[in-house]
Chains A and B, each alone.
Chain A
Amino acid sequence: MILRSSIFLGMFFLLALPAMVKAQSNSSPYSIVGLGNIENSAFDRYTGMANAGLALSDSRYVNNGNAASLPKLANHVFTFELAVRSSIVDYTGGGLSTINPNQKPPSPTVDIAFRRMAIATKITNKWGFSLGLEPYSTANYDYTANKLVQGNNAQIVLGEYHGSGGINRFYLGNGYQITRNTSLGINSSILFGSLQQVETLVSPDAQAVLATTTSVFLSGAYFDFSLQTKKRLNHHWISTYGISFSPQTTLRSSYDVVVTDGSTDTLKSDPTVNDRFTIPAQLKLGIALIKDDKYTFTINAEQQNWSDIRGNAFIPVGGASYKLIDNNKISIGFQKSNRLKNVYGIEYERSFFQLGLYGGNTYLQVSGLPVTDFGATLGFGKNSKKSGLGYYIALEAGRKGNWNSAILSENYLNINLILSYADHWFKGKKYY
């Protein structure tokens, strides 16, 4: 059974991963601003609880949002997790009119992308460790707009804008249990990646006359410090608390601009320009109540002060009708865990079911209206009885935009699949 499952999973990812990497076709218009869409989902087992897992920990699943949870991993267990997400997006509200009369109004789009890979283990009884790769932000947009002439606002060409890329986060997480109920953690991350925008100017006879490719490369260290503690309230109930803080971080950024003649002839290629871009500090708080290790209720809150951030020539953070504002979010989640005993008589979590709600402001305000993000989540996970395999499916359905139809809203359904494999290591045979 173990062998069959492993072969099945291996074949699935060998076949699907190459396609997943290139199948990102959803357009997220607001991702043209700043660093793109900053990822809200952690792609861990708390996604189905509206990602409200700051105060939670688990013995086999990695809690991506709080490194202080790592000491709670099972000893001598090596955990590997892989997350894939498919998104279905529909668009409503302002901005749906197209400049190009030949262009069809946008219809719901679907894409799929690899999102996260993580491994984790315990170094000692009190020291948990993980490393992983996941997106920090993504930019993916495609639209047409009038390109106006400076000075007289004449319109002689259309601009077609294609944005892609994103910032990736490679992190090393370390958590250390300092007391029986409290542990500290730090995620030391390297943010790296590029945001690319191709502006193609198109003449009225639909000929591409100029293409300007702007590539912004960003990199830098990013840290978030965390704490997790718990308190038993009575025989049945435990309360847990989590806090995470990421200080303001400055990323190195460099810019390349290449101008081509609508084809492949390079007209201009400027030398790289170096600059900096700042990510503001972020604070997250979480509280959870757990009954008999079976029912979990949790609430998270977070805040990040983007309004203080100044952009630069290549990463604009404000314009006549938009600006960055402080983002915030409240998430609440519920989980029911089904625990059984395995063939060795050891209790383990056979499956779990989750619900969640979330809402708040993103870091963007358009036409005086905040771009909000509200939604609900649903999760279901199951672990193998005889092996270390587990799978977890989480759905996130939400609306990013505003209830005011004056601005564009994205109605999305994210389908997350997280595959987990946990196995023992450094557990040699004993001979007597």
Chain B
Amino acid sequence: MILMRKRYLYLPLTIIISYFLSISISSCEKASIVIGTDFIANTPTNIAYVDTLTTQISTVYVDSFITSAPAALLIGDYTDAYFGVVSSRSFMQFGLPASSTIIPSGSIYDSTEIILRFNNKYYYGDTSKPFTINVNQLADPITLQPNQPVFYNIDSFSYNPATIVLGSTQLPNIRPAVIDTLSITLNGDSTGKDLFNKFVTGAPEIQNNPAFLNYFKGLAISGSGSNSMVGAFKDSIEMRLHYHTPGGNNYTYLSFNMTNPINQFNNIRVNRTGTAIASLSATNKILPSSVTGNAGYLQYTTGSMVKISFPFLRNILTLPNFVKIIKAQLLVKPVKNSFSLTYALPPQLILAQTDITNAIGTTIPGTGNLYIDQLQGFGTSYTYDLTRYFQQLIQIPDDNNVYGYGLLLLPPNETAILNRLVVGDIRQSQNYATEVQIYYAAVQ
């Protein structure tokens, strides 16, 4: 009985000590509870905001860029009030048909046509106007020069003067959403019929591709020079040699596809006469926005890109109690009425770091998150997170920006699209001026 009573009296102590030991050993996670921001209003760290940082905008000349084996054949021309007369043509070669290359004797030649297919139904310009495409035969085979691995936008080859325009087609308008294929029938019978005869007779020129390319040197497809748009076409371009056998309705054709992708390239030309950036050239490679209508001009495919610099960024270090940039955003805004459905904005633009050489360097993550303000118009902008870039840039003692650090505005794929942007500088009205928003921590 006494023993039982003793055990009873010490039982609470045993239980409590066991409990305490178990709690001591187990790890606990503290509950995280919100009781209102008012309780934390007096912390020494505040987030402050500044949007008055000066942005310096310039238009930079692009020497050249690779257009070999492009994602699309850019063909056409148009006149743009901001960028001038833009024209693009595409050069290519055709190889021998993959199937039998012999046409039965006695067959009758019908026609030769070029078939173009729209690339993702992309066009740039006014599709409501007539659109004319010309096909020219080249005078010389498409060959790279020694030490030239690829073709650039400035490269071109002469046409065969004997066939000024090999073929042409004109459409009253372009409706890429409805029509995805264009057909161009070659004029007359001479070129097509000569090619037909080679296949009937089994001529040496069709025995292998090198011999064929030396005979049929290639084509250039271009706009007429009076168009209002440039279209993009797939590289599945095809040339068809139509014929039929006598005494029946056995109509058929030989199909020639493009060969040597590296030898297919776009030649893009621009005439900036009469525009704000008319003086942009290989000898005048950068134009500040102050001399170009308070704007920067971006159309990489015609040789211009925009540079954005922040010459007074380090002044932020002198702000009261400044500690660190928490967030920095760049809002690139187009000039009022500078874009439309006809001249649409690039859907994506990247930023690449650069310096006084204006060479394209490391890119900033993100593609701009284009927002188009359909209702008011003035909210349209590309937004970039420059937090890390600014955090690094303010560490560099370059108070007068003698190193020329800045960011180049570029399309992600420089050669595929013509969409252009006219970037407003700080002298534009507030809603159309490119600006930087900086949130920084200030610790009292």
Contact = CB atoms under 8 A, between A and B. Distances in A.
Given A32-B39, A214-B44, A267 B324 contact: yes
Contacts of B37: 145-148
Contacts of B28: 23, 25-26, 109-111
Contact of A150 (B9, B16, B35, B46): B46
A201 B45 contact: yes
A121 interface: no
Contacts of A417: 13, 16-17, 20
Interface in B1-48: 9-10, 12-13, 16-17, 19-21, 23-48
Majority SS of interface residues in chain B?
mixed
A98 B23 contact: no
Contacts of A148: 37, 47
Nearest to B39: A32
B39 A319 contact: yes
Given A201-B326, A214-B44, A144 B12 contact: no
A150 B49 contact: yes
A27 B324 contact: no
A86 B38 contact: no
B278 interface: no
A156 B23 contact: no
A159 B30 contact: no
A97 interface: yes
Contact of B19 (A86, A149, A161): A86
A16 B21 contact: yes
Interface in A64-119: 84, 86, 89, 91, 94-100, 103, 106-107, 109-112
B34 A415 contact: no
Contact of B34 (A97, A157, A316, A319): A97
Contacts of B443: 212, 257, 259, 268, 270
**Interface size for chain B: under 10, 10 to 19, 20 to 34, or 35 or more residues?**
35 or more
Contacts of A270: 443
Contacts of A322: 38-39
A26 B24 CA distance: 13
A417 B14 CA distance: 11
Interface in B150-192: none
B323 interface: yes
B184 to A, nearest CB: 52
A88 to B, nearest CB: 9
B71 interface: no
Contacts of A197: 43
Given A150-B47, A210-B326, A84 B34 contact: no
Interface in A356-404: 366, 380, 382, 391, 393
B336 interface: no
A112 B32 contact: no
B47 A95 contact: no
A252 B48 CA distance: 32
A382 B47 contact: no
A431 interface: no
Interface string A247-260: 00000000001010
Given A98-B34, A143-B34, A12 B47 contact: no
B324 A145 contact: no
Contacts of A89: 31
Interface in B307-361: 323-324, 326-327
B327 to A, nearest CB: 5
B25 A19 contact: yes
B439 interface: yes
Contacts of A106: 31-33
> Which 7 A/B pairs are nearest by Cβ-Cβ distance?
A106-B31, A25-B28, A19-B24, A316-B42, A95-B35, A27-B31, A142-B30
Interface of A: 12, 15-16, 19-20, 23, 25-27, 29-30, 32-33, 84, 86, 89, 91, 94-100, 103, 106-107, 109-112, 140-152, 154, 156-157, 159-161, 197, 199, 201, 203, 209-210, 212, 214, 257, 259, 261, 267-268, 270, 313-314, 316, 319-322, 351, 366, 380, 382, 391, 393, 407-408, 415, 417
Given A157-B327, A259-B45, 17 more contacts: A12-B17, A16-B20, A20-B24, A32-B39, A98-B34, A100-B32, A110-B28, A111-B23, A112-B20, A143-B33, A149-B48, A159-B40, A199-B40, A199-B45, A201-B326, A203-B326, A268-B323
